[in-house]
């Protein structure tokens, strides 16, 4: 069970540091005591019903981390809510989750007035903080245990129970839930321990919110290693460079963009981070220039480029970056590498038949980390989970990643782009169809198209531009509505009203022509921009976008 990675370490090193957050250090024993109290409280309040899922609405506070462990220890799956998301999106996730209980920390309690008002049926809400002054919310940790006179017994579940449910961008205009079992998570954590081994006095750092699956790696790989998790207050590049030095961080895990911002602020100076022993990057392409700068800044660290969709539990491939690989300037972006322990990969054509060696096709993922499907049985994306046997392959069930890739002998799997309209914005999954659905609904436009723009030097999208055919559209109102329904990274930076869309030879919207308009900066005078207009972009960035849009035009 996922939580046993923490509790086993707590049993053997109760006085060792487990968590640093809000300028305070907590031992394994302290966190265990609090988590057991939350677990007992949940068992008490849920004894009259069948509560198998519990929402967790918290910032990265000690209460939120205690909540994760307490929910798991009570035999429930935790469903984290990102407090930075718009209230309408949070409400949509709550309704889809079907969770009857919600735990909130002190910081998020103030947001409860807006979210529940959007729900037809609100869950029972309990406060995680025992000493918080919230008269309208009972504290779950203060709830009476089932058997006050008897010692608390840990919940006995099975590895097939759900451990957590994360929600990703959905192509239908609503987020979709990905349920991950204890078996899925255990396979990943166990594989990571095999990959990296144990480091004495390990100090991990966590930048992402609990609603993103790298947080599961940060927490449970750290605690399985007997390490201490350090949680900075911000992702500010200047602050984080000092944070690494001050706390002598040994394990780093982030999207490349986080390190990229540090590079822009000239914080990746040679030898800046001698304490770092293992650096993991994932969620978006890792460019050669950034890998070089990071290896110089953290000269004692192994650097691993990780890849994997949420549906395959955090990561399923790994490529170890070496100085020899970086010596070749033709290696502009790091490969995806090879399968992690237990994972099987296939590259197939449109008929799901294996392609020839070195040929490009769609990447299939199989193995014990693979989720059973999406939370909703009606989710159209469930068609991506397919059953098929291949000679010489153990797995009979696969996930169609919609990532184009090819297998190489020297560098493993090499990413070749997307086969659908999904993009990554600063490491976050964004379905362009979801954004288009929201923009079209809010603008009442007959047609809408959203493209990733601008791109950085590695071809990674850093924003979105939306085009609509509605001469009367109130762009400021549309942007305001987008902010109320979409995560901040998915809100278009610019909305452009045009008379008619250019069409390609197939009669579809010519997204490459729209991208050319972005590159030239030839926008309508009626558009509204949140960031300064860009008059030109390097041809390499344009080529990367064209490659992506060509696949979407077919």
Convert the pLDDT of each residue in 165-204 to its tens digit.
999 876 556 789 999 999 999 999 999 999 887 788 899 9
Mean pLDDT lowest among 105-119, 210-224, 340-354? 105-119
Q: Do the domain assignments include residue 265?
A: yes
Q: Which of the four pLDDT bands, split at 50, 70 and 90, describes residue 549? A: very low
Convert the pLDDT of each residue in 5-21 to its tens digit.
999 999 999 999 999 99
The predicted pLDDT at position 363 comes to: 96
Mean pLDDT lowest among 43-57, 123-137, 390-404, 508-522? 123-137
Q: Do the domain assignments include residue 194?
A: no
- Together in a domain, 344 and 237: yes
Is the pLDDT at 539 greater than 50? The verdict is no
- Together in a domain, 412 and 478: no
Separation CA 511–CA 101 (nearest Å): 44
Do 357 and 147 contact (CB within 8 A), yes or no?
A: no
The predicted pLDDT at position 197 comes to: 78
- Together in a domain, 22 and 8: yes
Separation CA 40–CA 47 (nearest Å): 11
- Together in a domain, 325 and 433: no
Q: Do the domain assignments include residue 340?
A: yes
The predicted pLDDT at position 352 comes to: 94
Residue 111: count other Cβ atoms within 10 Å of its Cβ: 15
Report the candidate in 373, 435, 426, 424 with the shortest Cα–Cα distance to residue 175. Answer: 435
Separation CA 30–CA 66 (nearest Å): 10
Instruction: Please give the average per-residue pLDDT across 344-371, as a whole number.
Output: 94
User: Tell me, what CATH number does 166's domain have?
Assistant: 3.40.50.980
Which residue, 418, 448, 472, sits at the end of a domain? 418
Enter the pTM of the model. 0.81
CA dihedral 68, 181, 283, 195 (to 10 degrees): 100
Is the pLDDT at 374 greater than 60? The verdict is yes
- Together in a domain, 432 and 412: no
Domain that holds residue 394: 232-418
Rounded to the nearest integer, the mean pLDDT of the chain is 85
Convert the pLDDT of each residue in 426-484 to its tens digit.
778 888 888 888 888 888 876 788 988 887 766 678 889 999 887 778 888 889 889 98
- Together in a domain, 164 and 258: no
Do 165 and 79 contact (CB within 8 A), yes or no?
A: yes
**For residue 403, what is the enclosing H or E element?**
strand 397-408
- Together in a domain, 433 and 405: no
Report the candidate in 55, 51, 6, 54 with the shortest Cα–Cα distance to residue 32. Answer: 6
Beta strands at 385-387 and 124-127: parallel, antiparallel or unpaired: unpaired
Is the pLDDT at 394 greater than 80? The verdict is yes
Instruction: Please give the average per-residue pLDDT across 199-216, as a whole number.
Output: 92
Higher local confidence (pLDDT), 98 or 47: 98
Convert the pLDDT of each residue in 66-82 to its tens digit.
999 999 999 999 999 99
* Residues contacting residue 71 through CB under 8 Å, at least 6 positions apart: 38, 39, 42, 54, 56, 77, 78, 103
Q: Where are the beta strands (DSSP E) in 269-368?
A: 278-281, 302-307, 317-321, 338-339, 344-348, 361-366
- Together in a domain, 407 and 472: no
Beta bridge partners of 496: 467
User: Tell me, what CATH number does 320's domain have?
Assistant: 3.40.50.12780
Separation CA 473–CA 496 (nearest Å): 10
Convert the pLDDT of each residue in 431-445 to its tens digit.
888 888 888 888 887
Q: How many residues are present in the chain?
A: 554
Mean pLDDT lowest among 73-77, 140-144, 369-373, 421-425? 140-144
Beta strands at 317-321 and 397-408: parallel, antiparallel or unpaired: unpaired
- Give the whole-number percent of the chain exceeding pLDDT 70: 87
Is the pLDDT at 251 greater than 70? The verdict is yes
Q: Do the domain assignments include residue 154?
A: yes
Separation CA 257–CA 263 (nearest Å): 9
Residue 384: count other Cβ atoms within 10 Å of its Cβ: 18
User: Tell me, what CATH number does 542's domain have?
Assistant: 3.30.300.30
The predicted pLDDT at position 523 comes to: 56
Q: Give 3-state DSSP helix, strand, coil % of the chain, rounded to 5.
A: 30, 25, 45
Q: How many domains does the chain have?
A: 3
Separation CA 34–CA 73 (nearest Å): 11
- Together in a domain, 520 and 446: yes
Is the pLDDT at 28 greater than 90? The verdict is yes
Q: Do the domain assignments include residue 168?
A: yes
3-state SS track over 374-391 = CCCCCCHHHHHEEECCCC
């Amino acid at each position: 069970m996922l939580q046993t990675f923490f509790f086993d370490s707590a049993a053997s090193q109760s006085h060792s540091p487990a968590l640093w957050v809000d300028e305070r250090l907590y031992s394994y024993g302290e966190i265990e005591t609090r988590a057991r109290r939350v677990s007992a409280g949940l068992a008490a309040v849920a004894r009259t019903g069948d509560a198998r899922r519990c929402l967790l609405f918290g910032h990265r506070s000690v209460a939120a981390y205690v909540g994760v462990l307490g929910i798991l220890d009570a035999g429930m799956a935790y469903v984290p809510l990102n407090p930075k998301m718009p209230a309408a999106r949070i409400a949509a996730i709550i309704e889809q989750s079907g969770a009857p209980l919600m735990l909130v920390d002190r910081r998020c309690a103030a947001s409860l007035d807006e979210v529940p008002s959007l729900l037809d049926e609100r869950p029972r809400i309990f406060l995680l903080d025992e000493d918080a002054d919230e008269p309208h919310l009972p504290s779950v940790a203060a709830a009476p245990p089932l058997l006050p006179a008897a010692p608390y017994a840990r919940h006995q579940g099975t590895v097939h129970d759900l451990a957590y449910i994360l929600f990703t961008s959905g192509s239908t205009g609503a987020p979709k839930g990905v349920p991950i079992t204890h078996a899925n998570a255990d396979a990943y954590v166990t594989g990571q321990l095999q990959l990296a081994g144990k480091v004495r006095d390990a100090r991990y750092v966590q930048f992402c919110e609990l609603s993103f699956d790298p947080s599961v790696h940060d927490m449970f790989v750290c605690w399985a290693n007997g390490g201490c998790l350090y949680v900075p207050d911000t992702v500010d590049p200047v602050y984080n460079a000092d944070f690494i030095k001050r706390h002598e961080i040994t394990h780093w895990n982030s999207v490349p963009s986080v390190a990229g911002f540090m590079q822009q602020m000239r914080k990746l100076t040679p030898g800046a981070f001698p304490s770092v022993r293992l650096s993991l990057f994932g969620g978006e392409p890792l460019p050669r220039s950034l890998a070089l700068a990071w290896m110089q800044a953290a000269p004692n660290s192994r650097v691993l480029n990780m890849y994997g969709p949420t549906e395959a539990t955090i990561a399923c491939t790994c490529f170890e970056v070496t100085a020899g690989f970086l010596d070749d300037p033709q290696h502009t972006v790091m490969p995806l590498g090879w399968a992690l322990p237990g994972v099987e990969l296939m590259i197939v054509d449109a008929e799901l038949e294996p392609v020839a060696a070195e040929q490009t096709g769609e990447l299939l993922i199989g193995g014990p980390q693979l989720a059973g499907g999406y939370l909703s049985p009606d989710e159209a994306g469930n068609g991506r989970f397919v059953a098929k046997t291949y000679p010489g392959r153990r797995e009979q069930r696969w996930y169609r990643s919609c990532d184009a890739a090819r297998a190489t002998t020297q560098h493993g799997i090499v990413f070749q782009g997307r086969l659908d309209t999904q993009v990554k914005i600063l490491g976050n999954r964004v379905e362009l169809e979801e954004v288009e659905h929201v923009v079209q609904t809010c603008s009442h436009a007959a047609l809408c198209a959203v493209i990733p723009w601008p791109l950085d030097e590695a071809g990674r999208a850093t924003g979105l531009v939306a085009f609509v055919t509605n001469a009367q559209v109130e762009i400021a109102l549309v942007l305001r509505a987008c902010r109320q329904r979409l995560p901040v990274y998915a809100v278009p930076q610019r909305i452009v009203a045009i008379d008619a869309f250019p069409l390609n030879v197939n009669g579809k919207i010519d997204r490459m022509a729209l991208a050319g308009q972005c590159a030239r900066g030839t926008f309508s005078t009626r558009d509204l921009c949140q960031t300064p207009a860009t008059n030109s972009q390097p041809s390499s960035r344009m080529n990367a976008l064209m490659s992506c849009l060509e696949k979407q035009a077919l």
